[in-house]
Structure 1
């Protein structure tokens, strides 16, 4: 299966199910940046339930701005705050220490552009999952694709897709129950080397 999908900030599990099942992945590089999407946010499982982590960005004065041109607002100490949130949420998870060193540098090294940073996060997660992706990038925007399955709708943070995801043990399951489709980090820290098996066993609905 060939798919087209948005690079997002530590993609959610639905994103990675699509990626794990794809023979070829094309990243959408030429769309406009929209607010309230997973382009600059991800959700983890904190002590009080679902917790959003947002990367602050510099908004253009223009009506439209290309995703590839969006810069991160690094004057905010967002990287430190996000890392502290991850420590608080997952330091007691079974596999946090196993992946900690591979991931921590993403919250230390500065990045200028959001899209570049998201692609770097994606590469690190693929290494952790030991998932090999045959990936390419779009060179111009296309509304429709005839030869690829379009998963670009998964970028919309306000519209959850009706995917029935199998539950797994989460750190705070006893407090708040199972919360589906969080960041891939939640699955990785809780399931470790079994995370890829989980992704490959799930079904994802295209638009």
Structure 2
């Protein structure tokens, strides 16, 4: 299976399942940025249930439509510190948080200018944690129809992603029940080395 997919911020489990099952991967680099999508947000399982972590971005006053590749991060406040504290509160007691903590830490310490650079690095880091040999190419222009590729670009819009995934043990599952299709970090911190096999089993 050859797929076309959006690079997102610590992508959803369904996004990583599509990549884990693909033979070739092409990342969409030339679409227009859309607000309120997973391009700059992820969902985690907090002690109070589902929690949205959103990256603030700069919006151009001159251009109504900006390509995602050109979107810059807003640096007026320390969103990285806030996001890591939220991850700690959510996953410090999970089986594998401490095992992978050092691997993900650069995302919360490095200064990024562009959202796309950040997203690609989150994908590379998680792939290494999963021991997933991820090779991909990037688009050089935008096509509405993905000729010859299975189009998974809709997965970046969580409202259009209806994947129903196999339940696994989550830290606060006894309190709030199973929360479906969160950020891949939820799977990684809870399932560790079993996460890649899980991704390859899911039906999309």
Same fold (TM over 0.5): yes
Give the length in aligned residue pairs: 203
Check if 1:37 corresponds to 2:37. Answer: yes
Tell me whether 181-190 or 145-154 shows the greater mean CA deviation: 145-154
Check if 1:105 corresponds to 2:130. Answer: no
Q: Which 5+ residue runs of structure 2 have no aligned equivalent? A: none
TM-score normalized with structure 1 length: 0.96
Partner of 1:124: 125
Partner of 1:81: 82
TM-score normalized with structure 2 length: 0.98
> How far apart, in 2, do the equivalents of 1:103 and 1:74 lie?
20
Aligned-residue offset at 1:146: 2.3
After superposition, residues 149-188 of structure 1 pair within 5 angstroms as 149-161=150-162, 163-188=163-188
> How far apart, in 1, do the equivalents of 2:124 and 2:106 lie?
13
Partner of 1:27: 27
> How far apart, in 1, do the equivalents of 2:8 and 2:127 lie?
14
Aligned-residue offset at 1:197: 0.5
Aligned-residue offset at 1:157: 2.6
Moved over 2 A (4+): 157-160
> How far apart, in 1, do the equivalents of 2:11 and 2:164 lie?
17
Partner of 1:202: 202
> How far apart, in 2, do the equivalents of 1:89 and 1:145 lie?
37
> How far apart, in 1, do the equivalents of 2:83 and 2:23 lie?
32
> How far apart, in 1, do the equivalents of 2:71 and 2:116 lie?
7
Work out whether residues 38 and 157 of structure 2, in 8 Å CA contact, stay in contact via their aligned partners in 1. yes
Classify the secondary structure of the residue corresponding to 1:112. coil
> How far apart, in 2, do the equivalents of 1:74 and 1:107 lie?
13
Work out whether residues 3 and 150 of structure 2, in 8 Å CA contact, stay in contact via their aligned partners in 1. yes
